[in-house]
A and B are shown apart, each in its own frame.
Chain A
Amino acid sequence: MTGVSGKKKILIIEDDSHIAEGLKLNLSLKGYDVLIAADGPAGLREWREWKPDLIVLDIMLPRIDGLSVLRSIRLEDERLPILILSAKSEHEYRVKGLSYGVDDYLSKPFNLEEFLLRVDRLVTRAAWSEGESPAGCLPEGSVYTFAGNTIDFVTFTANCRLGRVTLTEQEVKLLKLFIANRGKPLSRGELLEIGWGYTGSTSTRTVDNFIVRLRRYFEDNPRKPAFFRSLRSVGYVFDHDS
């Protein structure tokens, strides 16, 4: 995961250019390779392309907010250390961030020394487990079963009423998102932001088309869905009897 120069890579997703540059300066002086992304979509793009070893994330970001960025990353990578650095210090935000899988949370204004030590520690810890096989994002393991349907997140296949089908990457992401939020309504905007990394202005029809596909795979009667239900003026909710 380390760069060509052997340095560890840190991605800073922060919209305030002064803070971002100040962080970059300090992390560079500590020997890290640092990149700055100024908004949510740019952050997600750099995470995919540049493959950082750690992400420093702000919550109040333009276009896609930090918590959605975090959830989007966690759908695919459960292990990447992420540290939230936010002016939101209320415990509800800390709890929210931690429940979405952030590794550490610092509120602004912060102590520089503390920040650098936490970053060092997170990078070191991540290095220990680098060799191990990566686990899926679901605590139950790589296979999820509900109402006679089985989804395998390693082979990207599902056993459902249509028989054995191969799932696309996007379908798998969407399924993971629904499973992680079982019983909780997700708006089309949220699904787009987290599942696709789009901003709200993009057509939400994309989401609807994918839901149609998921229903065709898993619903006994796709016209009267029991698992992927629509909620009027809210979005969709996934749930099933256990």
Chain B
Amino acid sequence: MNRFKWFYHPVFIFIFSIVALAASLVLYVYWYIGVSTGLASIIKNYNLDPNQFFEVNTWVVVLVLSILVGIILIGVFVIFVYNQKTWQLYRLQRNFINNFTHELKTPVTSLKLYLDTFTKYDLPRSEQIKYVGYMIQDVERLLKNINRILDLARIESGNHWKEFVIMDLVNAVQKFYGNNADLFRNCEFKIHNLAGKPLHYPVNPQLFEMFLMNIMTNAVKYNESDNPSVDVRFIPRKKGLQIRFEDNGIGIEKSETKKIFRMFYRVGQADDTANGSGLGLYMARQIARIHKGEVTAESEGKGKGSVFALTLPMRGEVEG
């Protein structure tokens, strides 16, 4: 069966229908001219009045036919594009389900394992407390994953993020680090404020924190260095403010720096080794957009670290 698979391929069907349509146009015109010359000779032979039959000129007929065929062509093309998009989304979704179920299954497996163990053995109290602690962490992991899906749904719905609060972003990043210090264990963290003063910007605090969580945990997660480090640089620019998150992690191939922001996109899908949902950077980009800003990735290549730069527009900056 596989040998005939190309036969059903959308690109083949698309090309085939275009060729068929073009051929039919040529045939219409050819036959029309054939019929009208035949008709002309009949008129000539029987000495009829040509104006009775040739009120419409040949080129008008050809033009009308061409326009109709053109419309059909555009229609086919639109259907083709939509079809391709649907397939792409389907593949993305399947990819997402595969990856995300892994993220959900791991804590569930751990929970089930400890619950099974507790039913099987009567462990000393001290050990019980230790393992219950693990289970609580697993429940939190599950909750975090579920919340990410809910966050995504809310970001996608758009309109709920009108509440912007003016806050000092330098302080916000520092605070975020303080609150999540356990995520950045063994990781060197530095803030460089090139402005030398607090930078007050209107942001949605919840979204901004979500952004930091996604960008900064990536810096640690995709890092194989012995001394992982994250440097956050605040650079005032003419058009606004740039915040650069620089890490010494595994880096990104040049060709991937744009793709990684796509929904469900994961680098190196063939032999996945790192866990992830393929949503983090997509969400980061959406959050930047809600703030009328932009997030880009830069990297010297694999193994050379990466930089994620958030650019926020001047609009609404408040002197602190």
Q: Is B116 an interface residue (CB 8 A)?
A: yes
Chain A residues with Cβ under 8 A from B106's Cβ? 16, 19, 87, 108
Contact in complex: A19, B273 (CB < 8 Å): no
Contact of A201 among B108, B113, B302 (CB under 8 A): B302
Q: How far is the CB of A58 from chain B (nearest CB, A)?
A: 10
Chain B residues with Cβ under 8 A from A18's Cβ? 107, 110, 113-114, 134, 137-138
Q: Please, which residue of chain A has its CB at the minimum distance from the CB of B117?
A: A26
Contact in complex: B116, A113 (CB < 8 Å): yes
Chain B residues with Cβ under 8 A from A88's Cβ? 98, 102
Chain A residues with Cβ under 8 A from B271's Cβ? 65, 67-68
Q: Please, which residue of chain A has its CB at the minimum distance from the CB of B272?
A: A60
Chain A residues with Cβ under 8 A from B137's Cβ? 18
Instruction: Determine chain B's interface SS by DSSP, over half rule.
Output: helix
Contact in complex: B273, A62 (CB < 8 Å): yes
Contact in complex: A109, B105 (CB < 8 Å): yes
Give A26 to B114 CA distance when docked, in angstroms. Answer: 9
Give A68 to B271 CA distance when docked, in angstroms. Answer: 10
Contact of A22 among B98, B108, B117, B272 (CB under 8 A): B117
Q: How many Cβ-Cβ contacts under 8 Å join chain A to chain B?
A: 76
Q: How far is the CB of B198 from chain A (nearest CB, A)?
A: 39
Chain B, interface size category, equals 20 to 34
Give A29 to B98 CA distance when docked, in angstroms. Answer: 34
Q: Is B180 an interface residue (CB 8 A)?
A: no
Instruction: Determine chain A's interface SS by DSSP, over half rule.
Output: loop
Q: Mark A46-88, 1 if CB is under 8 A from B, else 0.
A: 0000000000000011111101100000000000000000011
Q: Is A110 an interface residue (CB 8 A)?
A: yes
How many chain A residues touch B (CB < 8 A): the figure is 29
Q: Is B190 an interface residue (CB 8 A)?
A: no
Contact in complex: B117, A112 (CB < 8 Å): yes
Give A110 to B110 CA distance when docked, in angstroms. Answer: 10
Q: How far is the CB of A25 from chain B (nearest CB, A)?
A: 6
Chain B residues with Cβ under 8 A from A109's Cβ? 105, 108-109, 112-113
Residues from 181 to 202 in A contacting B, C-beta threshold 8 Å: 199, 201
Q: What are 23 inter-chain pairs, A to B, with CB distance below 8 A? A: A16-B106, A16-B110, A18-B110, A18-B114, A19-B113, A22-B113, A26-B113, A26-B117, A26-B120, A29-B121, A60-B273, A63-B224, A63-B273, A65-B271, A67-B271, A88-B98, A88-B102, A108-B108, A109-B108, A109-B109, A111-B116, A112-B120, A201-B250
